[in-house]
Amino acid sequence: MNAKNTLLPITSTLQSRGRLLDLSAPVVMGILNATPDSFYNKGRDSDLASLLQTAEQMLESGATLLDLGGASTRPGAPISNADEELQRVLPVIQALTARFPGVWLSVDTYHAEVARQAVEAGVSLINDVSSGDIDPDMLPTVARLRVPYIAMHMQGTPETMQQQPEYGDVVADVRDYLRGKCDLCRAHGIADVIVDPGFGFGKTTEHNFALLNNLHTFRMLGRPVLAGLSRKSMICKPLRIGPENALNGTTALHVIALQQGANILRVHDVKEAVEVIKLMKHLS
């Protein structure tokens, strides 16, 4: 691995529901979309049987975590309805935890009530693209649930985030925001926090590449770093392709993210991401 990986110590384990997850080496989080309007699969394969099959394939391919979402956070998406989100994710959570006991399952939500019911149904951690900015009850709820929390940076909301995003210094601004969120999580009593700079969430292509090129600096927060690059516009726009043709570009950026010290790769294509991690180990 690149020497930047050893610059700063980070929390190397997560604890949830009496289990420990080792992050001393990079791991892969597979994306499961139980929504009809995701930016990539457009609702294809979002029924229960297809999601179970996809989850099985991801786990067999080496995914350590699965991230289930019941509402799209694509650019332009309105704030979701919590009740509708619960109707989509709860049956999937119950089926996944029954089929794959012990799976590390995350729910991708910015609603505290969805987080609460998801954990009660078997979820191990919460992935919040708004870091508690959309629902002020989120951080107190996660603290009570005693599960790890993924805090992501987003400028605005999914509906507004790509309307001319601006920063003074995107790397410093995003890092300072996440530092503040880590402090707030600590104040609420959340023990395990993962930070995510939010590639594509209120950023131009130039902002995204500046963040990727400086991802190692987020290690100063002392928290595991998640990189969500899979098939995003920062790949599609420069290459003038659609998400369906962005696997090769995704793989290329995963190499850079790992060189920059990413601990978790959140991906649509687990097999390829796991192969990148395996090959990168030979450089350490």
Give the residue numbers marked as catalytic.
232, 266
Query: What type of residue sits at position 109?
Result: T
Count helices and strands (H / E) in the chain: 9, 10
Under 8 Å CB-to-CB from 186, ≥6 apart: which residues? 193
Under 8 Å CB-to-CB from 64, ≥6 apart: which residues? 21, 27, 28, 29, 104
- Return the structure tokens found at 148: 């790890």
What residue ranges in 23-79 does DSSP mark as E strands? 27-33, 65-69
**16 φ, ψ to 5°?**
-155, 130
**196 φ, ψ to 5°?**
-135, 115
Give the β-pairing of 104-108 and 13-16.
unpaired
